[in-house]
Amino acid sequence: MRKAVLVAPNTSETPANGESGPDALVEQRGQTLIVTMNRPSPRNALSGEMMQIMVEAWDRVDNDPDIRCCILTGAGGYFCAGMDLKAATKKPPGDSFKDGSYDPSRIDALLKGRRLKKPLISAVEGPAIAGGTEILQGTDIRVAAESAEFGISEAKWSLYPMGGSAVRLVRQIPYTVACDLLLTGRHITAAEAKEMGLVGHVVPDGQALTKALEIAEIIAANGPLAVQAILRTIRETEGMHENEAFKIDTRIGIEVFLSDDAKERRSAGVRAEAQTQLPEPLISRSACSAQWPAGSEDDRHGLQAADKVRRPQRQP
């Protein structure tokens, strides 16, 4: 059954942004939570309300055992255009630092210094510029529509990428490519983003969320403790020396193997195998030929022997 929930702080009947509904929508489909940035007129530019809802959604993902995966997307064919520049003309961004009104907790919405305990998939349609590309870097699996556009444009406006790109981007794509994007502020296509490894999937326009949901469904069917443990290992060992990382890897891995979840799934797997007749294993050519000692007649004999094992003999 599809379960839909809208999460938003107290708002007036007519939203200040002139859009339909709150600045972000939160909907649960099965075991996946979908967070939709919902200010399409300004191309889903960030607002205080939007960021507050997003932070609440991240908390929900981490704390609700019924949620196994999360998707971040945008309404109206846009992902996110970053800071609301119109609002910034009324109050310059730097003023909030001077007058003490800056709320550092809001930066959690951009996933700066915070990573979810469960997989976060981004489904990008249209522009993901400035803060949009910065949020993208905090997601684990990234799906982009063919017409999606990416860029970190803050330097063009004499601003700084406060979402963490000056630190994060050079760790996710080649150094010189990251510097190019950060220092020029130029925009790139979905195809370019995939080529450099910024996104993993490019799909036809209008299909990003569909693809993200397909991936989420596959992940949700896996062992939840195993999925979370793999993510935890990736994050805790980032930048570590390999041998030190293996210590964490082993500790976390043993915890998973000893869990009730692993025991139950192994038992279920054994029961499933007992009900299914598995095919005879095939011996590979490389394995067979490797067994023939050096100096024997010809390796062709080994390959012929392998073929006899692989193929049943015809009855006369």
* 134 given a catalytic annotation: yes
pLDDT digits (tens, 9 = 90+) for 169-216: 999 999 999 999 999 999 999 999 999 999 999 999 999 999 999 999
- Residue 207 neighbours by CB distance under 10 Å: 17
DSSP code of residue 283:
P
pLDDT at position 261 is 85
CA 161/CA 130 separation, integer angstroms: 7
Cross-strand bridge partners of residue 26: 35
CA 144/CA 191 separation, integer angstroms: 9
pLDDT averaged per 10 residues in sequence order, the chain, 316 residues: 38 43 96 98 94 97 98 98 70 54 70 94 98 97 98 95 96 98 98 98 99 99 97 95 97 95 74 54 40 41 42 48
Catalytic site residue from 134, 149, 214, 255: 134
**For the whole prediction, is pTM greater than 0.85?**
no
pLDDT at position 2 is 38
**Residue of 169, 172, 191 lying closest to 181 (CA atoms):** 169
Catalytic site residue from 49, 125, 149, 154: 154
Cα→Cα distances 133→4, 185, 296, Å: 27, 12, 61
**Residue of 142, 138, 137 lying closest to 152 (CA atoms):** 137
> What tokens appear for 159 in the block?
């601003």
pLDDT at position 103 is 58
Query: Hey, which bits of the chain come out as E strands?
Result: 24-29, 32-37, 69-74, 120-124, 127-129, 141-145, 149-151, 187-189, 201-203
